[in-house]
Structure 1
Amino acid sequence: MNKIVTLSTGKPKKHSWKNREEISGIAKEKIEMTYLTKEGFMGDGVANTDFHGGPDRAVCLYPFEHYGMWEKEFKNAFTPPSFGENICARNMLEKDVYIGDIFSLGESLIQISQGRIPCSTISKHNKEDRLLGRIVETCFTGYFFRVLKEGTVNVESILKLEDRKQERVSVLQGNFTMFHDRKNHKAIQELLQIEELADVWREKLEKALI
């Protein structure tokens, strides 16, 4: 059982990055409590629906342990939710959780559906040009959940593993296949065999087999 570090939400807003205006939902703010629906947290929103949002990507989690690592590497202070996550939590590393894992969180029930495919707003928001590339290289992307049961979540809520559907493919392994091993048909087939895999990943991986 893991207590979350921060709970954060935010609607898309205008940002000025490198003298250019963009709309993004990455700048979330810490909150005490909200209601989690099948589409995501009340008060939350996304701008780029190619990478975020929808039932398979209703909740974004980023592991707290990565913050210290990035601070050391970039000599810069990163504090949750710098990576645009809804939940920052300890002991939830990509290598230790599996696609399909079901967790209770407050009154809700959530299931890991895919790793996160990060976009350039992470670098822009944190003013570190190399950050996106390093996140992809390491596969320390965080990951998404779908919501199986709606309910109230607060900052004191606990993430408790309720069911593990498979132990073949961790989120980290899935990320590695997606980002660095798209010619490995055996690894792709193993991912595609996971019923709980998000549709958008399934489509991308099926195309890689053609």
Structure 2
Amino acid sequence: MLPPVSPVVLCGGIRALPGRDQVSAIAKAPIDGPWQIARLGLKGDAQADLKHHGGPEKAIHHYPRDHYGAWRNEIGTHPLLDVPGAFGENLSTAGWTERTVHIGDVVRFGSALLQVSQGRQPCWKLNAYFGRGDIARRSQESGRTGWYYRVLEEGAAEPGDRLTLVARPRPEWPLSRLIALLYRDKDRYGELEQMAALEELATGWRDLASRRIQTRATEDWSQRLDGPRP
């Protein structure tokens, strides 16, 4: 089971992406508590593209600081990797990763109750933020994506409160298994059928698994990963 962890809590507003005409709220910075947690996420946080970001199934993004060392090894030093928030996360911790967190995990943070709803599907805005063209693809291929929570119970958290696992309804479904099914073992249709039946999984990911089963084809990722040209 997961040990309790103390998060850095981050929020951000909408601003222009470096060298782009598009805007994003990917730039997050630590904020002092107490933190108010509502159905659509942390009070004071924003999303620029509500079609692909935010909403009740992607209310809060969690990214492991555990991965920052691997990123430095792969791409070298980068100022974004010197502090939490490099991947637009709302919660930054050490000790939980996609291998140890499971879909449907119920997590207490202060008086709020969260549930792991899906992994992240990295997009080209990571490339723009880092000033490199390969970060989204590297994130997807490595499985270092982070994950999202839905908010089961709104509430508040204070400095010193820890993220604590209180229930694990799907012990056979670590996020790493889902990520591998989507991005590496793409034609394991029996497992995709099981994935599509996971009630705790966000509807978008369940529908994605169902479409792949029906079409026997993998969706085109190029627009999401590479995005528009600058």
Q: TM-score, normalised by structure 2?
A: 0.86
Displacement of 1:16 in angstroms is 3.1
1:147 pairs with 136, 139, 151, which one? 151
Deviations 1:58-84 (A, max 9, x none): 010001100111012111131210100
Letter in 1 for 2:26: I
Distance 1:164 1:16 in 2: 40
Cα pair 1:32 1:154 within 8 Å, conserved: no
Aligned residues: 208
- The Cα shift of 1:155 comes to 4.3
The within-5 A match list for 1:94-133 is 94-133=98-137
Partner in structure 2 of residue 25 of structure 1: 25
1:191 corresponds to which residue? 195
For 1:74 and 1:155, locate their aligned partners in 2 and report how far apart those are by CA, in whole Å: 33
Q: Which runs of 5 or more structure 1 residues have no equivalent in the other structure?
A: none
Instruction: Measure the CA separation in 1 of the matches of 2:158 and 2:87.
Output: 20
Gaps of 5+ in 2: 215-230
Q: Tell me, what secondary structure is at the counterpart of 2:149?
A: strand
Give distance in 2, aligned partners of 1:40 and 1:113. Answer: 13
1:80 and 2:84 aligned: yes
Structure 1 position 174, deviation (Å): 0.5
Stretches (4+) displaced over 3 A:
none
Structure 2 match to 1:93: 97
- Report what 1:59 is aligned to: 60
Match status 1:180 vs 2:181 = no
Match in the other structure for 1:46: 47
Percent identity of the aligned residues?
29
Which region of structure 1 is more displaced relative to structure 2, 89-98 or 146-155? 146-155
Whether the 8 Å CA contact 2:122–2:140 is kept in 1: the answer is yes
Task: Name 2:217's counterpart in structure 1.
Answer: none
TM-score by length of 1: 0.94
Amino acid at match of 2:11: T
CA contact (8 A) 1:2 1:159 kept: yes
Question: In 2, distance between residues paired with 1:45 and 1:188?
Answer: 33
1:191-210 to 2 correspondences below 5 Å: 191-210=195-214
Give the aligned CA root-mean-square deviation in angstroms: 1.4
Residue type at the aligned position of 1:21 = D
CA contact (8 A) 1:51 1:119 kept: no
Cα distance in 2 for partners of 1:36, 1:127 equals: 31
User: Which structure dedicates a bigger proportion of its chain to strand?
Assistant: 1
- Residue number in structure 1 paired with 2:5: 3
Q: In 1, Cα distance between the equivalents of 2:160 and 2:60?
A: 17
Q: Distance in 1 between the 2:180 and 2:124 partners?
A: 19
